Each structure stands twice: as structure tokens, then as C-alpha cells.
Amino acid sequence: MTYYSLNRQAPDATFEEAVVKGLAPDKGLYFPASVTPFTNDFLNTLENLSDHDIAIQTIKQFVLPDIPEKALEEIISDTLDFDFPIVKLNENISTLELFHGPTMAFKDVGARFMARCLGYFNKHNEHEVTVLVATSGDTGGAVANGFLGVKGVHVVILYPSGKVSNIQEKQLTTHQQNITALEVDGVFDDCQDMVKQAFLDEELTSQLQLTSANSINVARWLPQMFYFIFAYKRLKSHHKQISFSIPSGNFGNICAGMMLQKLGLPIHHFIASNNANNVVAQYLHSEIYSPKASVQTISNAMDVGNPSNFIRIQEIYGNDFQNLKHHLSSFSYSDTMTKSAMRELYDVYNYVADPHGAVGYLGAKDYLKINPDTHCVFLETAHPTKFLDVVEDVIDIKLELPEQIKSVIDKEKSSIPISHYAELKSFLLSCS
Ligand SMILES: *Cc1c(COP(=O)(O)O)cnc(C)c1O
């Protein structure tokens, strides 16, 4: 597969180049040059195939020939060694649980897939790659876990001090080896700005092979397609039309679902469910796209003021506003509404949701009001114990900690505090 830059000022790239660079030299996001839709035969017989085989068929065209099929099979087996269950709440609403991986966030799949791709490319390579990543919470833990011990890769994670949950912080600051956590005096957008500045800094990029592990990286973005096709497979025989409500921050996850629709998977509609950070909802309303500083909410992994993948979404729908509106709705919810949704899910369905999943549930409900004939799947993107304080407080229960969480909670935090770009830069230069 060839990838082009959405800024259209850079040469095309192979999959390997796109993964290693992260962002194109003209600072554009990479986008696949052509896609071959699924065959009807594949779609009609999905339910007879294993998740593993479906994943291979879904992603193969995007990574071949840079990663040959045999190696890809190993990467997929390694990446997907946990479950993706659907829990049906009622006739119209189900949730797809994406939190059964090692850090209990849906980002595990993308992080593990990308780490293994880089590991594959680095097998015969002497130069270390530095993965630089800004996190609003869950990315850091998933990336740290996914990349731990991968040869030739040093991971540097920037996170906003005091703005991630205790468990999230433990998940990203308690690894050693090739993982470093930088604790930034600021908000997520400050972290993201510093990362962007580093990629633009020629003094740095001439000395270090920098890449990103945010969802702008094609190797993190594309494996998220698996969720939607797994859900489709599980629900296909029961429902005519399936729509997805995706709790969205940087819009990488939802954008992967949209690629799948481009490949021919019959997804009826997408609902971008947002907290107070509602740039896209406002855009769909006014046709004016105005990024803003992010505001802090209880669903902090979605506290994003300028979603980096939105440009890919516009590309998918041909930069046509009406076309986009036809496929995408977006709703925004306050923390108060999110909390009542968590209570409702518990009281009515005996389901414990985390705040992000609860936002997804609200989006599903609102969409069903205008479109009662669809079956709506909301993605539950994090295990509720990752937001322990909020969840226990809102629904007044004591949650049992799963093994994955217990194993980090008592570990010692280790982070390097920084407050300015200059400190990030000198740290990176000291590693080169
Ligand atoms: C990252 C994250 C999101 C947002 O995902 P995007 O792909 O950035 O839109 C939602 N929920 C949780 C729990 C997350 O960690």
C-alpha cells in the first residue's frame, strides 16, 4: 500500500515509511492511496471466520508487502490475545467491550500492533527509533505496555500532571527499560503542542529518528478497524442495520470505523459522542470548524480541543460537508449528564460503565430518538476501574480490581517533571 500526505506536499510513502515517520515531512497525516473493497463473498460468510482471519483480511492490503503475510499473522495473534465481547442491553442498544487487554483500554490494540510492526522493521536495523507520544490518559499506558522491551525503540511519554487518574498514571510511570514518562506542568494540549514542536525541530529530527504513537500513526489508527468488523460479525444475524456510537477525543477510533465503511462494511451511521469538548458537533451544526482549548471533564481521555484525525474523516467523505453529515452525527454531554447515564446504566441494566462508555451510551440513545430502526452499538473504551474514584462515587459501589490493575497499583511512580519545550528538547538530545 502507498500512503500520501493529506497536505499533498510530500512524496508518497510505503507502509514502513509511514509508520516510522508518523507524520509526513510536510506535517500532513498519511492516508492510504487506494483501497480495495471487501468481496461480497467475504462479507456474506464473515460469521464462519475466526476473529484472527477477519483481522488479517481487513488489514492485509494496508501493510503488504512491507510486512509479509506470515509475519503479519504472528503480529495479529500477538496483538489480539484477548476478547471483544458484545453485551446486549436491550433490543436497540448493545455495548462492545474493548477493555479486556493488558491496560484495559481500547488503545491496547493499536499500541500493540504498532509496537510489533516497528519491532519487525527494526529487526535488521541498527538505529534506535524514539517514539514520542502525548497522552490525555489512556494512550500512555497502552503504549508503555505495548512497547515495553521492544528492541531498538525508546518510548517517551508526555502526560499532564494531575490530570490523569491514579491508575492511569501508574500504568505509564511504573515501567523502566525503554520507557520514560515526562510529567508536564500543563494540560493535554500543552503536551500535544510540545510533541508537535519536536517533530518540527530540525535540530532534533536530524539527530533522532522520531516517530509518534498517537492515532495519527497509521499503525495505531488502522487496527482499530477490527472492533467494528468484530461487532458486525457478532450482531449480523440479529439486526438489519447497525450503527456505532463512539466516545471520541482525537477521532482516531471513529475514523477507523469509517475506513471500514469505505471498504464496504455496511455500517448504517456513526455517532461521535463527546463530552464538553464539542468542536465536531459544532462543525456539523454550523459548518464552521473552530478548534478550541480543551476543557477538563470526567471523561478525560476525550478532553481534546482540536481532534487530529478529523482531517482524515473529511478525506474519507470526499471533503463534502453534506456527505459527511449523512454518515455522521455528533452530540455533546456535560459531566452531570454523563454521571446520570452511569447511574441509569447501573440501575436499569445492572451495567457498570466508565465515564467514556457512558457518553457513548448517551449518544446511542439520542440517535435512536431520531432513528429508531437501527441497532446502536456504543463502544465501551475503558474498564470502569480505570476511573475508580468517579465510578465508585457516582454509582456508590465498591469495584473489584481486575488483575491487570492490581499488578501496577502498588508500583513506584517514576517520572521526570518538565514545564517547557526546551526541557523536552534537552532531554531528547541527551538520549541521542
Ligand atoms: C483515547 C480514548 C478515547 C478517544 O479515542 P479517540 O480515538 O482519540 O477518539 C475514548 N475513550 C477512552 C477511554 C480513551 O482512552
- Residue 301 within a domain: yes
Three-state DSSP class for residue 207:
coil
pLDDT of residue 165 exceeding 90: no
The angle subtended at Cα 135 by Cα 205 and Cα 85, nearest 5°, is: 125
Better-scored residue on pLDDT, 128 or 267: 267
Query: Which neighbouring-strand residues pair with 128?
Result: none
Atom 14 (ligand 1): residue with closest C-alpha?
A: 301
d(CA 381, ligand 1 centre) in Å: 7
Confidence band of 214 (pLDDT split at 50, 70, 90): confident
Gap between the terminal Cα atoms of the chain = 32
Per the prediction, the chain carries an average pLDDT of 94
Q: Does residue 38 surpass a pLDDT of 90?
A: yes
Ligand 1 centre from 76 Cα, in Å? 21
Q: Tell me, letter by letter, the H, E, C secondary structure of 103-159.
A: CCECHHHHHHHHHHHHHHHHCCCCCCEEEEEECCCHHHHHHHHHHCCCCCEEEEEEE
Is residue 342, in this structure, part of any structural domain at all? yes
What's the average model confidence in pLDDT over 41-65?
96
CATH of the domain at 286: 3.40.50.1100
- By most ligand atoms within 8 Å of CB, the mutation choice from 29, 99, 100, 107 for ligand 1 is 107
Residue 203, pLDDT score:
94
Residue 369: count of CB within 10 angstroms of its CB? 7
> What's at 41, amino acid-wise?
D
Q: Give the mutation target among 145, 191, 245, 248 for probing the ligand 1 site: most ligand atoms within 8 A of CB.
A: 248
Identify residue 265 by its one-letter amino acid code: L
pLDDT at 364: 98
Lookup result for grid cell 454523563 = 338
User: Who's near 118: CB < 8 A, 6+ residues apart?
Assistant: 19, 20, 129, 131, 147, 150, 152, 153, 211, 219
Helix (H, G, I), strand (E, B) or coil at 312: helix
Domain tally for the chain? 1
Q: Which residues pair with 382 in a beta bridge?
A: 105
DSSP percent split of the chain into helix, strand, coil, nearest 5: 45, 15, 35
Q: Which atom number of ligand 1 is nearest to the Cα of residue 256?
A: 7
Contact 377, 95 (CB under 8 A): yes
For 44, 197, 252, the CA distances from 13, given in Å and listed in that order, are: 33, 22, 20
Cell, residue 22: 508518523
CA distances from 181 to 99, 260, 287 (A): 23, 34, 39
Pick the range with the lowest mean pLDDT from 23-27, 53-57, 411-415. Answer: 23-27
**Please, which pLDDT band fits residue 260 given cuts at 50, 70 and 90?**
very high
Percent of the chain with pLDDT over 70: 100
**pLDDT given for residue 125 in this prediction:** 73
Per-residue confidence (pLDDT) for residue 281, from 0 to 100:
96
Q: How far is ligand 1, taken at its centre, from the CA of residue 27, in Å?
A: 23
Name which of 13, 44, 20, 71 is nearest 266 in CA terms. 44
* Residue 88 counted as domain residue: yes
Whether the pLDDT of residue 255 is over 80: the answer is yes
Rounded Cα distance between 119 and 152, Å, is 8
- Per-residue pLDDT at 126: 73
Q: What is the pLDDT, as a whole number, of residue 411?
A: 92
pLDDT digit string (tens) for 57-94? 999 999 999 999 999 999 999 999 999 999 999 999 99
Q: Torsion angle of alpha carbons 274, 278, 282, 287, nearest 10°?
A: -90
Residue found by looking up cell 487518574 in the block = 165
- To test the ligand 1 pocket, which listed residue (224, 250, 294) has its Cβ within 8 A of the most ligand atoms? 250
In a domain, 289, yes or no: yes
Q: Say how far apart CA 19 and CA 26 lie, in whole Å.
A: 15
Secondary structure (3-state) at 40: helix
Say what the pLDDT of residue 221 is: 96
| Ligand 1 centroid from CA 126, angstroms | 34
- 212 falls in which pLDDT band (50, 70, 90)? confident
Sequence letter at residue 12: D
Which tens digits make up the pLDDT trace of 148-160? Answer: 988 889 999 999 9
Does residue 15 belong to any structural domain of this protein? no
Q: Is 54:229 a contact under the CB 8 Å cutoff?
A: yes
Range of the domain at 351: 83-105+221-400
pLDDT of residue 351: 98
Residue 327 domain-assigned (yes or no): yes
Alpha carbons 417 and 270: distance in angstroms, whole number: 39
Whole-number pLDDT of residue 199? 87
DSSP 374: S
97 falls within a domain = yes
φ and ψ at residue 141, rounded to 5 degrees: -65, -45
Residue in the structure block whose three cell numbers are 500500500: 1
Rounded average pLDDT over 421-427:
97
The residue whose C-alpha atom lies closest to atom 1 belonging to ligand 1 is 301
pLDDT of residue 242: 97
User: Under a CB-based contact definition with an 8 Å cutoff, are residues 210 and 204 in contact?
Assistant: yes
Q: Is residue 255 part of a domain?
A: yes
